Amino acid sequence: MSKELSEIFNFSEITDDCVKCGKCIPVCTIHQINPDEVTSPRGFIELLGQYQNGDLELDKNAKDIFESCFLCTNCVDVCPNSLPTDMVIEEVRADIADKFGIATFKRVFFWLLRHRFAMDMFSKMGYVFKGCMLKSDDKDRGLFARFNLPFIKKGRLLPSMAFTSFLNSHKEHIPAKDSKQKVAIFIGCLGNYNYTNIGSSLLYILEKLNVEVFIPKKQLCCGAPAYFTGDMSSVEYMTTKNIEYFESFMSDYDAMIIPEATCSSMIKHDWERFFANHKMPEWEERAKKLSGKIFMATEWLHSQTNLQDMLAKEGKNIDELVTYHDPCHARKTQDIYTQPRELLSQNYNMIEMSDPNRCCGFGGVTMQTEKFKFAKLAGTPKASMIRDTKASIVSAECSACRVQISESLNDANVETIFKNPIELIAQALGKDEK
């Protein structure tokens, strides 16, 4: 099904604002690995304008081109007009999804993300059956594919699934003695199913800080994976369901804290943008109201609690060298990069890699499956700059970065392991490593 021209998102408005200076090109993640103007921000923007004019057909070739963007927002960061290339790419992916459909395995995946219970069951089965398809990595970084799965080649390192998800492992309300602060936690899908130590570490820290916690059990995926893939009906479902649910309790809480850059950026910024683009002003207003209380975990802990002092008292108590990678959705879209560094440097020796701000190359579901060769290429420079630091741990407050960086490190035979800063902070405060 093709859209009538009049139904297409108004791309030309942005195309007209592009002065074609080319400043965005050298920083572009896809252009770095495929130096061709068609896969560059300036190229995407022009192609989208021509698509809207009817001069460029949304054919298989165009689909491939628009699916190659990593949505890293490097381009937005340097553009003199701050043109939102990532947003227009997300929009055209909706048209691609309408026209070409969404691959079955992704449809199943998004359906599971919509339906928490089914995903819980699936993940349990995944935990039980994973041995058939996947083998554990001896360094506990995840699982290797034993043979080729649909879109996943043999030998890839994948995050392992926990037997019980984070949301199903803890009580909904965790009171604290005479606490003054109350927060809700949004955990994110990877944190919920795969890297459950992040959530338990966050709880450990909040307990030390005497903060009352609410774990909203009915939270759904933030919608980012579907948004990046153009499955707009899933996005609409997850955002509106989540907003209705959040509104039912957020007036009682100071903040909703999220130990995940992508989820937090999605909820804080992209929800509003999504509703604006899809002419849903009432929802836009509701998303906007919520966004004031959305924080990345390190951001909130850094500015609203005395965690830093508490950590300082422990001194440099852990003899590990840590290097921090800036997730695109933390530094570029939310300007968060000093907070995790300041917190970690209380207890760990820190070293900067040569370009911490360079995208890891995760790129989303499509990039990790059908377009994995690009993700692999984009990951190589990150692995080598991490190797050069000789750090034993690389940290980033983002589990998508974790999937990609762990894989890239494994490919490059680098021993460095990945931890979320929340896990490292909890460890410095005495939590067992596991």
* Number of residues located near another protein, criterion CB under 8 A: 23
Least distance CB 94 / ligand SF4 (angstroms): 16
- Give the one entry of another protein, ligand SF4, none that residue 343 binds, where binding means its C-beta sits below a cut-off of 5 to 8 angstroms depending on kind: none
Report residue 285 as tokens: 């207003």
Cα dihedral sign, 335-93-236-158? negative
Q: For ligand SF4, which is the closer residue by CB, 88 or 257? A: 88
Instruction: Please say whether the beta carbons of 263 and 224 come within 8 A.
Output: yes
Instruction: Please say whether the beta carbons of 11 and 49 come within 8 A.
Output: yes
Least distance CB 387 / ligand SF4 (angstroms): 24
- CA–CA gap between residue 197 and residue 191 (Å, rounded): 8
- CA–CA gap between residue 103 and residue 208 (Å, rounded): 45
Helices 232-247, 281-291: inter-axial angle, 10-degree rounding: 60
The verdict on 150 binding another protein (CB under 8 A) reads no
Please state whether beta strands 173-174 and 212-214 pair in parallel, antiparallel, or not at all (unpaired). antiparallel
User: Binding marks (x or -) toward another protein, 3..42, rule CB under 8 A?
Assistant: ----------------xxxxx-xx--------xxxx-x--
Burial class (CB in 10 A: 0-12, 13-18, 19+), 349: middle
Stretch of 50-58, 88-96, 282-290, 415-423 contacting another protein, by CB under 8 A: 50-58
- CA–CA gap between residue 340 and residue 306 (Å, rounded): 14
- Give the one entry of another protein, ligand SF4, none that residue 70 binds, where binding means its C-beta sits below a cut-off of 5 to 8 angstroms depending on kind: ligand SF4
Least distance CB 81 / ligand SF4 (angstroms): 5
User: Binding marks (x or -) toward another protein, 71..110, rule CB under 8 A?
Assistant: ---------x------------------------------
Q: How much of the chain is helix, strand and coil, in % rounded to 5?
A: 55, 10, 40
Q: For another protein, which is the closer residue by CB, 170 or 332? A: 332
Question: Which residues are bridge partners to 294 per DSSP?
Answer: 256
- Give the one entry of ligand SF4, another protein, none that residue 259 binds, where binding means its C-beta sits below a cut-off of 5 to 8 angstroms depending on kind: none
Least distance CB 86 / another protein (angstroms): 18
What residues line the site for ligand SF4 (CB under 6 A)?
A: 18-24, 28-30, 41-42, 44-45, 69-75, 79-81, 83, 85-86
Write out 58-83 in H/E/C secondary structure.
Answer: CCHHHHHHHCCCCCCCHHHHHCCCCC
Stretch of 51-59, 133-141, 253-261, 382-390 contacting another protein, by CB under 8 A: 51-59
- Give the one entry of another protein, ligand SF4, none that residue 56 binds, where binding means its C-beta sits below a cut-off of 5 to 8 angstroms depending on kind: another protein
Cα dihedral sign, 364-367-372-376? negative
Report residue 428 as tokens: 């410095």
- Give the one entry of another protein, ligand SF4, none that residue 38 binds, where binding means its C-beta sits below a cut-off of 5 to 8 angstroms depending on kind: another protein
SS3 state of residue 353? coil
The site for another protein (CB under 8 A) is made up of 19-23, 25-26, 35-38, 40, 43, 46-47, 50, 55-57, 61-62, 65, 80
